[in-house]
Structure 1
Amino acid sequence: MTLEATSASTHAALLALAAQTRELMDSVLASGADDAELAAVTEELRALTARLDATRQPPAQVGDPRWFLGNAVVGAANPFAPPMTIEYPPGGGVRAEHVFRPLHEGPPGFVHGGVSALVLDHLLGEAVGTSGRGGLTASLTMTYRAPVPFGVPVVATAEYTRSEGRKSWAEGRITLPDGTVAVEAAGLFITPDWFPKEY
């Protein structure tokens, strides 16, 4: 069953389940329950997992409407995803304001550097996509200037810079509430032959 074949109510129910699962994941990290309670909750989750597994679908393929629902950054149905909502300002580039969760922690109180890279990799790709030249990451260079806290709003931005043949470049950053640039990224993207032309 593809997204096109699901009703609006089923789609909404899937996103509500993903949102509730995000809350569950955060609660797992913060729980102070005793052994017996943790074991009981684990058994309940095992039963719920079996119910969902009974209707498991194959992974989404390129072009499948479900493709971005499972994306690790913007996938509304992916419980690990922040998820981020990307804006496309009139002046060009892409922008996303977000509050990271404890689930994304690396050093105590701060976001894992790999999560920052994950987010900027995606935004750089989106920025390249605004040029009509979608592609896959060939290289990603990260510069970490300050820790990124979770629990406070940060802004991630990116812009396409240039192209040569099938190669495209983009640059981006994560900015803290006080305007400090905490993380910078530069990426090279390659447009494969099979990439959707309507990207």
Structure 2
Amino acid sequence: MPKTKTERVTISLCPPVDLGGEPGWIPFDAPSLVGESLRFVSGEPDGNRFRARYYRDAEQHLHARIWFGPETEGPPGHAHGGAVAAVMDEALGLAAWAAGYPIVVGNLNVSFRNMLPLQKVVTVESRVISAEGRKVMVHGRIFSGETVYAEAECLCITIPGK
């Protein structure tokens, strides 16, 4: 028999997580720099996909605390490689913007080192390695303690006229 009522699915949100930075890190308002382009990873600060908070250190390098929620699952209990790559894309591209280079990502190479458990807060560190002409190279890694989950190299291309 066909159903005539609309069924609602209730999704319960995971509890809050501490995305606080290290001593000396200064909170960085990433959306004010690049606008709505941060929707994919950073767009739901209390959601079940990603939760992210960005910081800068004394040398002006960009750092982040990222939480990979249950909606980022790939292998059982672990973050999907595409979710890890999405975080690297956002964080490394944002590092170039924060350093004064309005860019788009031209090439992103991610090396996966360890499986990243879900619902774990990890640190992302990134830094601009070089800038020559329109090419800006940014390196970064996702880690917690001594465990490195992913490392990435990002070739960014500056946007003409920006």
Task: Pick the TM interval, shorter chain.
Answer: 0.7 to 0.9
Match of 1:132 in 2: 100
Runs of at least 5 residues in structure 1 that lack an aligned partner in the other structure? 1-35, 45-63
Of 152, 158, 161, which residue of structure 2 is paired with 1:191?
158
- How has the CA–CA distance of structure 1 residues 65 and 139 changed in structure 2, closer, same or farther, with 3 Å as cutoff? closer
- How has the CA–CA distance of structure 1 residues 80 and 152 changed in structure 2, closer, same or farther, with 3 Å as cutoff? closer
Higher-Rg structure is 1
| SS of 2:55 mapped into structure 1 | coil
What is the alpha-carbon distance in structure 1 between the residues aligned to residue 48 and residue 82 of structure 2? 13
- How has the CA–CA distance of structure 1 residues 99 and 66 changed in structure 2, closer, same or farther, with 3 Å as cutoff? closer
- How has the CA–CA distance of structure 1 residues 78 and 150 changed in structure 2, closer, same or farther, with 3 Å as cutoff? closer
User: What's the Cα RMSD here?
Assistant: 3.0
- How far is the alpha carbon of 1:81 from its aligned partner? 5.6
- How far is the alpha carbon of 1:94 from its aligned partner? 1.0
Report how many residues are paired.
139
Indicate whether 1:159 and 2:127 are aligned: yes
Of 40, 46, 55, which residue of structure 2 is paired with 1:72?
40
What is the alpha-carbon distance in structure 1 between the residues aligned to residue 123 and residue 66 of structure 2? 6
- How has the CA–CA distance of structure 1 residues 103 and 81 changed in structure 2, closer, same or farther, with 3 Å as cutoff? closer
- How has the CA–CA distance of structure 1 residues 123 and 65 changed in structure 2, closer, same or farther, with 3 Å as cutoff? closer
Match of 2:7 in 1: 40
Q: Which has the higher mean CA deviation after the structures are superposed, 92-101 or 139-148?
A: 92-101
Q: Which has the higher mean CA deviation after the structures are superposed, 87-96 or 110-119?
A: 87-96
Structure 2-normalised TM-score? 0.74
2:50 is aligned with what amino acid? P
| Paired residues of 1:98 and 1:155 also in contact (CA < 8 A) | yes
| Paired residues of 1:69 and 1:77 also in contact (CA < 8 A) | no
Structure 1 vs Structure 2: percent identity of aligned residues? Answer: 28
2:75 is aligned with what amino acid? P
- How far is the alpha carbon of 1:109 from its aligned partner? 0.5
Bigger fraction of residues in strand? 2
2:138 is aligned with what amino acid? A
| Paired residues of 1:72 and 1:78 also in contact (CA < 8 A) | no
Indicate whether 1:89 and 2:57 are aligned: yes
Of 170, 175, 179, which residue of structure 1 is paired with 2:143?
175
What is the alpha-carbon distance in structure 2 between the residues aligned to residue 115 and residue 87 of structure 1? 20
Bigger fraction of residues in helix? 1
Higher relative contact order (Cα pairs below 8 Å, separated by 6+ residues)? 2
Runs of at least 5 residues in structure 2 that lack an aligned partner in the other structure? 11-31
Match of 1:106 in 2: 74
| SS of 1:118 mapped into structure 2 | helix
